[in-house]
Structure 1
Amino acid sequence: MKLEQLRVGGLRCLTDVSVAPDPGINVFVGANGAGKTSVLEAVFLLSHARSFRSGAKDALLQRGTMRLSVFAELRHADERIGRLGLGREGARWEAKVDGTNVAIGQLVRECAVVCFEPGSHALIAGGAEERRRYLDWGVFHVEHDFLACWRRYQRALKQRNSLLRSASTVTDAEFAPWEWELAQSAHQIDEQRSAYLDLLRPKLLASVAGVLPELGALDLRYRRGWSEDQGLAQQLREQRSRDMARGHTTLGAHRADWSIAFELAPLREHLSRGQEKLTALACMLAQAELFAEHRGEWPIVCLDDLASELDQPHQAAVVAQLTTAHAQVLLTGTELPQALRSMNPRVFHVEQGQLTRLL
């Protein structure tokens, strides 16, 4: 898919910005704080309905404004044009596809964006939540019923947690239907996650071998979030008193995790920060390639501050791979990276939230 038009209003320092990216490589250059990353953030919002930056959602809104809007025209591999819009006024989000109001889930299914940025090492070194987000984004774009199942699971989880924290005595009959629903939807989520990782594994092996061959063979491990010995419903019943003491459900699909171990670095603590970044980059590229295999088109690729995150050989290798795949790339930096200077990319200068095309 290719982003043909992007309009952003009220997002951080971007008051009213319109840009027509090239279908190939696009570079946004400018000083720190000029608004380069916010351009990538706007595109990412359409695909994930959240920012890749940490911090409060209110920080997305430009100071002094109450409304944020992102509009895009996407051309798919089959030449279909999609017109996507995402707006926020106060705390309320509104999504549109081709001018029609839709659920957020329908919007993000239309637009796929993967991103490598300064915080990406958290995929390897951070908590399990970041890895579940990565995994579930991939499953969402492969399994059409995943979102509905995930929502059923979240509803049952919320209800069980509410019962666990209830001040009054709660009977087994009150817990039973929610634990049954939790177990049924968790089992389906687990099957879909496991199947997705089986598809991802060969892509990831090849991707990691290209950026970290010195660490040896890779092992991808997955933990579903509850014991393999018995069904989740039974485990939830047996764990109920302990969960009451904690005030939340400690077993289930919301506790799942996956990890990468290398032959010569079996623990993630053995990896340097640079190796964590390269492993996260390999994960991003592998997921993008698997998406392309299933959907017939590459997702849009965002690379934030590439020159400060990767050395020149790795920059060149990544750019070469994406160029060969004919992916659309949006890249930021304080200047045009050395690896791109012979490729004639489209270059935009960003200053105080305004964009000017240079090349």
Structure 2
Amino acid sequence: MRLERLRIQGLRCLHEVDLTLAPSLNVFVGANGAGKTSVLEAVFLLSHARSFRSGAREALLCRGAARLFVFAELRQSGDRLLRVGLGREASRWEARLEGEGANLGALIAECAVTCFEPGSHALIAGSAEERRRFLDWGVFHVEHAFLDAWRRYQRALKQRNSLLRAGTEPGSPLYAPWETELAGLADWIDGHRRGYLDRLRPQLHASVAALLPELGEPDLRYRRGWSEEADLRGQLEAQRGRDLARGHTSLGAHRADWTLAFEHAPQREHLSRGQEKLAALGCMLAQARLYAEQHGEWPIICLDDLASELDEAHQAAVIAQLAGSGAQVLVTGTDLPAPLRSLPHRLFHVEQGRLTPLL
């Protein structure tokens, strides 16, 4: 999978960008704040319908712009060329496939992008929500019905939480239908999450162990969000009184989490910030390799500010893996990273939101 053409309008400082990308390695260099990361952000939007940056959604828009738009010509396996697009006006996202309106799920199913960026250490050290997003993106690209199931789960969860916030007595029959819905969907979601992690685990062990051999054998641990000893429906019923006091549902698939532990660093707190970054990078590479194994083509790989995030030895190790994979890779930096200088690449200079091809 690769982007042949990328057009960006109205995204942060990128007023009007139109790029022809190389099928393998593309490098964007320029000063800090020039707009390099925004190029990767545009690509990421096509695959996730959200940014990897934190902050208000309104910050995505160029100053004075009413809307933003990202368009790409996407070459998939079998030499299929697909035209995809994502636009946003006010608070509404609009997806397009081959010029026709489409739902966001259909767009995300077609375009797969994984990204390593300065905030990626949150996958290891941040909230469980970050790890669920990582997990559920992978599950969705195996089972597209996952998105609909997750949306239905969220609707049922919202209804139960509304009852709790309204102070509805624990014995009320109003809880039962929503708890039944939650329990059935949670079991389905949990089953697919476990299946995905089982397939991811060998890839994860290999990629993380290669980046952090000094930490010993890695171990992926998963918690589904409710006790393994009883069904969720019964637990939700028993938990109503305590959830009423809290004002929210404290058990379920929305509370799931997974952690990465190591033989010589069994607690997350034992890792340095640099080790957290390398562990997160290993997770990203493992997910990309599993995607390639399942789909016969690699996702698009984005590496933001590579030289400042990794030392030169780790840069070289990552680039060597990716260069032999056939993946399309987009890299940013203030200068051309040393490990890339001997490899064929297309180089773009970025300055004040303008991109100029140099090679």
- Does TM-score exceed 0.5, indicating one fold? yes
Report what 1:145 is aligned to: 145
| Residues 84 and 107 in structure 1, CA contact (< 8 A), matched pair in contact too | yes
Report what 2:302 is aligned to: 302
Report what 1:335 is aligned to: 335
Cα distance in 1 between the residues matched to 2:135 and 2:202: 15
Report what 1:273 is aligned to: 273
TM-score by length of 2: 0.99
Q: Structure 2: which amino acid aligns with 1:298? A: W
**Correspondences of 1:1-359 after superposition (within 5 Å):** 1-167=1-167, 169=169, 172-359=172-359
Cα distance in 1 between the residues matched to 2:324 and 2:168: 62
- SS of alignment partner, residue 148 of structure 2: helix
Deviations 1:146-189 (A, max 9, x none): 11111111110011001111146575321100000000000000
Cα distance in 1 between the residues matched to 2:270 and 2:167: 46
Cα distance in 1 between the residues matched to 2:160 and 2:171: 12
The alpha-carbon deviation at position 344 of structure 1 amounts to 2.7
Larger deviation, residues 293-302 vs 165-174: 165-174
Deviations 1:28-65 (A, max 9, x none): 00000000000000000000000000111111011111
Larger deviation, residues 278-287 vs 161-170: 161-170
Deviations 1:285-314 (A, max 9, x none): 000000011111000000000000001111
The alpha-carbon deviation at position 12 of structure 1 amounts to 0.2
Cα distance in 1 between the residues matched to 2:314 and 2:182: 44
Count the aligned residue pairs.
359
Cα distance in 1 between the residues matched to 2:128 and 2:170: 31
The alpha-carbon deviation at position 108 of structure 1 amounts to 0.7
Query: In 2 relative to 1, CA 170–222 (structure 1 residues): closer, same or farther, beyond 3 Å?
Result: closer
- SS of alignment partner, residue 198 of structure 2: helix
- SS of alignment partner, residue 173 of structure 1: coil
| Residues 170 and 244 in structure 2, CA contact (< 8 A), matched pair in contact too | no
| Residues 163 and 170 in structure 1, CA contact (< 8 A), matched pair in contact too | no
The alpha-carbon deviation at position 132 of structure 1 amounts to 0.3
Q: Structure 2: which amino acid aligns with 1:351? A: E
- SS of alignment partner, residue 356 of structure 2: strand
Larger deviation, residues 126-135 vs 141-150: 141-150
Q: Structure 2: which amino acid aligns with 1:97? A: L
Cα distance in 1 between the residues matched to 2:114 and 2:169: 47
Cα distance in 1 between the residues matched to 2:223 and 2:186: 13
Cα distance in 2 between the residues matched to 1:169 and 1:61: 45
The alpha-carbon deviation at position 144 of structure 1 amounts to 2.3
Larger deviation, residues 262-271 vs 161-170: 161-170
Q: Structure 1: which amino acid aligns with 2:207? A: S
Calculate the aligned-residue CA RMSD, in Å.
0.9
| Residues 170 and 241 in structure 2, CA contact (< 8 A), matched pair in contact too | no
| Residues 8 and 71 in structure 1, CA contact (< 8 A), matched pair in contact too | yes
| Residues 21 and 346 in structure 2, CA contact (< 8 A), matched pair in contact too | yes
Deviations 1:58-110 (A, max 9, x none): 11011111100000000011111111010011111111011111111111111
Deviations 1:4-29 (A, max 9, x none): 00000000000000001100100000
Cα distance in 2 between the residues matched to 1:72 and 1:43: 9
Deviations 1:221-243 (A, max 9, x none): 00000001110000000000111
| Residues 5 and 73 in structure 1, CA contact (< 8 A), matched pair in contact too | yes
Q: Percent identity?
A: 70
Structure 2 stretches of 5 or more lacking a match? Answer: none
Q: Structure 2: which amino acid aligns with 1:309? A: E
TM-score by length of 1: 0.99
Cα distance in 2 between the residues matched to 1:113 and 1:230: 37
- SS of alignment partner, residue 4 of structure 1: strand
Deviations 1:300-358 (A, max 9, x none): 00000000000111101111111110100000000000000111311000001000000
The alpha-carbon deviation at position 3 of structure 1 amounts to 0.3
Q: Structure 2: which amino acid aligns with 1:84? A: V
| Residues 9 and 17 in structure 1, CA contact (< 8 A), matched pair in contact too | yes
Deviations 1:243-278 (A, max 9, x none): 111110000000000001100000010001110000
